Amino acid sequence: MLPSVLRTFVPLLAGWIIVALTGLGFSVDSGSVQAAIAFAVAAAYYLLFRFVERAAEKFNGPAWLKGAAGALLGYARPPRYSSTDDVAELVRQSRR
């Protein structure tokens, strides 16, 4: 579960930092507009590094590239989930 949590919050934090450091907020006083811009930047950040990670995996790119893209998402490897129809087993897996 930790990889999923990290891969959710690291891009959100990165989006917020990028907006704060670059002034992409366009000096708008509205907190919701600032939040929307930060969310859009975070989504773009996630998509960019996830795409690089998947492309490196699919096209047998260098291992360091896949690892670096994953690390910039908060965890060097994507989470792996085993498929099961047993709900109790899914709950046990989510607690690991």
3 state SS for the chain:
CHHHHHHHHHHHHHHHHHHHHHCCCCCCCCHHHHHHHHHHHHHHHHHHHHHHHHHHHHCCCCHHHHHHHHHHCCCCCCCCCCCCCCHHHHHHHHCC
Q: Quick one: which of 56, 64, 50, 37 has its CA closest to 10?
A: 50
Q: 6 lies in a domain?
A: yes
Name the residue with higher pLDDT: 94 or 76: 76
Q: 60 lies in a domain?
A: no
Q: 89 lies in a domain?
A: yes
Q: 7 lies in a domain?
A: yes
Predicted TM-score (pTM) of the model is: 0.59
Q: 27 lies in a domain?
A: yes
Number of domains the chain contains: 1
The pLDDT tens digits for 54-72 are 898 889 989 899 889 888 8
* Structural domain span for residue 78: 2-47+73-94
The pLDDT tens digits for 26-46 are 555 567 677 777 888 888 888
Q: 34 lies in a domain?
A: yes
Q: 59 lies in a domain?
A: no
Average pLDDT over residues 2-6: 75
Q: 54 lies in a domain?
A: no
